């Protein structure tokens, strides 16, 4: 009879997979020009850029559940927290 891995083992495996996939995804996205990345391709988040933004924010929300949301905040060069009010916000 097969045994089920404990939750910590599963979480570690999922985190490793997420890191591996993020590295591959960002490497491929890095080959696109800014214009190509931001072009509206009629996807759910409109563009590759919008999809990457969504993935980054969801990764940070999930990470915040483990290490505390305060540690996942965006900060500017002076260390001030950048408040994110909407997904379409420009900085």
Residue pLDDT, tens place only, 61-83: 888 888 877 777 777 778 887 77
- DSSP secondary-structure letter at 39? S
- How do residues 19-68 score in pLDDT, each as one tens digit? 999 999 989 999 999 999 999 999 999 999 999 989 988 888 888 888 87
Quote the pTM value.
0.68
Q: Which long-range contacts (CB under 8 A, 24 or more apart) does 34-40 make?
A: none
* Side-chain half-sphere exposure of 85, counting CA atoms within 13 A: 3
């Amino acid at each position: 009879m097969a045994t089920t891995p404990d939750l910590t083992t599963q979480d570690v495996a999922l985190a490793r997979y997420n890191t591996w996939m993020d590295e591959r995804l960002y490497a491929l996205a890095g080959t696109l020009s800014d214009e190509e990345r931001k072009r509206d391709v009629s996807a759910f988040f409109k563009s590759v850029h919008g999809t990457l933004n969504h993935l980054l924010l969801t990764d940070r929300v999930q990470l915040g559940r483990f290490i505390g949301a305060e540690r996942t905040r965006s900060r500017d060069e002076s260390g001030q927290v950048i408040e994110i009010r909407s997904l379409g916000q420009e900085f």
